[in-house]
C-alpha cells in the first residue's frame, strides 16, 4: 500500500515537472490553447457586445478560440477583481472599463488600474447633453444661461451613482459654473425614457444611447463632450467649438494581470489590433453605435494617470468618496 502510494507520488511529481517544462516551452509559441476574456458586465450590454464582436474578429489572427466569461456584479468590481487575480500567463485578458477609475475612490476595491498591465484602449464614447425637443434652449450656450438663471431647476438623468454619465454631468457643471440636480437611473435606457416622457430636463449619456429618440424627433443633442464631432451626429457641435473646454467620456480597453510576459503581451496586442482594424468589426461597431478608438498602452497609461486624479476630485465633490 505504502509502496504504491510512493510510486504514485513520484509519478505525479514527474508529471508536474514535465508539465512545468512544457509550459515553459509554451511561452515561446504563445498562444497554444484557447484564451479566456473576462467581461465585467452582463451578456447583452454595450461592453459585452463590443467584446464579443472584437473576439470573433480577432480569433483568426490569434490562431486560437476566445471564450468570454461574464463575471458580473458589484458595479463591475467582481470582473475587474477576477482579472487582477488571474494567472499572469497571458491566457486571461480582461476588458477593463471606465469604472476601474471610479471603484477605488469609493473604497469598493483594493486595487487600481496600476495592478493591470495595459494592452491597449479599444473604445471611447463621449458624453453629450441631450434635452427634450421642445426645451426652451437650442444651443448649449442658451442651456447654460437658463441654468444660471434657474439654479438646481434642471434635473439631469444619468445611469447610476458613480457611473461615467453621473460624472459627465458634474464635470460639465463644474467647468461652466452652473448648478444642476442629478437623478440616478438604473442604466442609461431608463434615463432616456424619462427624458422622452419629459419628466427630467436633460440626460448626460452618450449620443449612441439617444440615437433612437433623436431620429424619432422627441429629443435633441445640444453638444458632445469630445474633441471632434461624432460620426453619425456630424450636425452636433462639440463643447470646445461652443467655447467650453470640456472633454469627457467612457472608454473600454484590454489588460492583463501584472508581470505577464512581454512577448505574450505583444502577441495579444498585435492580434487584437488587427481584429479591431478589420472591416467586419468596424461595420459591426458602427451598427451597434459603439465608437472604435485605438490608443497604445503607453499613451493610455499617461491618459489614465491624469484622469484618475480628476475623476477622484469630481467624485469627492459629489460626495461619492469614502
Partner 1 sequence: MDIELFIEALFGILQWKPLLMIFAGVAGGILIGSLPGLTATMGVALLVPFTFGLPFNESIGMLLGIFSGSVYGGSISAILINTPGTPAAAATLLDGYPLSQKGEAGRALSMSVFASFVGGFTGALIMTFLSPQISQLALEFSAAEYFGLATFGLSIIISVSGKSILKGIMVGFLGLLISTIGMDPVSGYPRFTFGSMNLFEGPAFIPTLIGLFAFAEVFKGVEQLTTTKQVVSKISSVFPSLSDIKRTWKDMAKSSVMGTFIGSIPGAGSDIAAFVGYSEAKRRSKNPEKFGTGQIEGVAAAESANNACSGGAMIPMLSLGVPGDAVTAILLGAFVIQGIQPGPMLYKEDLDVVYSVFSAMLVANVAMLIVGFLGVRFFARAITVRKSILLPAIFIMSIVGAYSMRNNMFDVWLALGFGVLGYFLQRYRFPVSPILLALILGPMAEANLRRALIIADNSMIDVLSRPITAIFLILGLVTLIMSILRQRKAHD
- One character per residue 19-48, x = contact with partner 1 (rule: CB under 8 A): -----------------------xxx---x
319 touches partner 1 by CB under 8 A: yes
Report, in Å, the least distance between residue 84 CB and partner 1. 12
Choice from 26, 32, 71, 278 touching partner 1 (CB under 8 A): 71
Nearer to partner 1 among residue 56 and residue 274 (C-beta): 56
Binding segment for partner 1 (CB under 8 A), chosen from 85-93, 143-151, 207-215, 298-306, is: 207-215
Choice from 60, 63, 73, 136 touching partner 1 (CB under 8 A): 73
Report, in Å, the least distance between residue 130 CB and partner 1. 14
Binding segment for partner 1 (CB under 8 A), chosen from 1-9, 74-82, 91-99, 121-129, is: 74-82
92 forms beta bridges with 36
| Contacts of 215 by beta carbon, 8 Å cutoff, 6+ apart | none
Nearer to partner 1 among residue 70 and residue 92 (C-beta): 70
Rounded distance between C-alpha atoms, residue 50 and residue 284, angstroms: 9
Report, in Å, the least distance between residue 152 CB and partner 1. 8
- One character per residue 124-163, x = contact with partner 1 (rule: CB under 8 A): ----------------------------x--x----xxx-
Nearer to partner 1 among residue 220 and residue 265 (C-beta): 220
Choice from 37, 66, 81, 221 touching partner 1 (CB under 8 A): 81
Nearer to partner 1 among residue 247 and residue 313 (C-beta): 313
Binding segment for partner 1 (CB under 8 A), chosen from 179-187, 227-235, 253-261, 304-312, is: 179-187
Rounded distance between C-alpha atoms, residue 45 and residue 67, angstroms: 17
Q: Which three cell numbers stand for residue 10?
A: 513520484
Burial of 211 (0-12, 13-18, 19+ CB in 10 A): middle
Choice from 27, 194, 292, 312 touching partner 1 (CB under 8 A): 194
| Residues making up the chain, counted from first to last | 322
State the residue for C-alpha cell 487584437: 272
- Of residues 224 through 283, those in contact with partner 1 by CB under 8 A are none
Rounded distance between C-alpha atoms, residue 47 and residue 53, angstroms: 10
Nearer to partner 1 among residue 186 and residue 259 (C-beta): 186
Residues in the interface with partner 1 (CB under 8 A) total 56
Nearer to partner 1 among residue 17 and residue 42 (C-beta): 42
The residue ranges that bind partner 1 (CB under 8 A) are 42-44, 48-49, 52-53, 56, 69-75, 77-78, 81, 106, 108-109, 152, 155, 160-162, 181-186, 189-190, 192-194, 196-200, 211-213, 215-218, 284, 287-289, 319-320, 322
Amino acid at each position: 500500500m505504502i509502496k504504491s502510494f510512493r510510486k504514485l507520488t513520484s509519478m505525479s511529481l514527474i508529471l508536474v515537472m514535465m508539465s512545468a517544462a512544457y509550459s515553459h516551452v509554451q511561452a515561446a509559441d504563445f498562444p497554444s490553447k484557447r484564451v479566456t476574456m473576462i467581461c465585467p458586465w452582463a451578456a447583452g450590454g454595450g461592453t459585452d457586445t463590443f467584446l464579443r464582436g472584437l473576439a470573433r474578429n480577432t480569433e483568426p489572427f490569434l490562431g486560437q478560440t476566445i471564450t468570454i466569461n461574464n463575471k458580473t456584479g458589484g458595479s463591475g468590481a467582481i470582473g475587474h477583481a477576477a482579472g487582477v487575480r488571474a494567472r499572469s500567463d497571458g491566457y486571461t485578458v480582461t476588458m477593463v472599463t471606465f469604472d476601474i477609475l471610479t471603484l477605488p475612490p469609493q473604497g469598493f476595491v483594493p486595487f487600481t488600474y496600476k495592478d493591470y498591465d495595459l494592452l491597449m484602449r479599444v473604445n471611447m464614447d463621449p458624453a453629450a447633453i441631450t434635452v427634450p425637443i421642445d426645451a426652451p434652449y437650442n444651443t448649449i450656450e442658451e442651456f447654460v444661461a437658463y441654468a444660471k438663471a434657474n439654479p438646481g431647476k434642471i434635473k439631469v438623468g444619468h445611469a447610476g451613482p458613480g457611473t461615467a454619465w453621473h460624472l459627465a454631468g458634474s464635470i460639465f457643471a463644474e467647468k461652466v459654473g452652473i448648478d444642476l440636480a442629478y437623478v440616478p437611473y438604473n442604466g442609461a435606457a431608463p434615463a432616456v425614457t424619462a427624458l422622452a416622457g419629459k419628466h427630467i430636463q436633460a440626460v448626460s449619456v452618450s449620443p449612441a444611447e439617444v440615437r433612437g429618440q433623436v431620429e424619432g424627433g422627441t429629443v435633441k443633442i445640444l453638444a458632445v463632450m469630445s474633441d471632434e464631432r461624432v460620426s453619425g451626429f456630424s450636425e452636433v457641435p462639440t463643447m470646445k467649438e461652443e467655447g467650453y473646454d470640456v472633454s469627457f467620456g467612457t472608454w473600454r480597453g484590454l489588460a492583463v494581470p501584472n508581470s505577464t510576459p512581454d512577448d505574450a503581451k505583444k502577441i495579444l496586442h498585435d492580434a487584437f489590433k488587427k481584429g479591431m482594424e478589420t472591416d467586419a468589426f468596424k461595420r459591426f461597431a458602427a451598427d451597434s453605435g459603439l465608437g472604435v478608438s485605438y490608443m497604445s498602452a503607453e499613451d493610455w497609461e499617461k491618459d489614465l494617470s491624469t484622469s484618475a486624479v480628476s475623476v477622484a476630485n469630481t467624485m469627492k465633490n459629489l460626495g461619492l468618496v469614502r
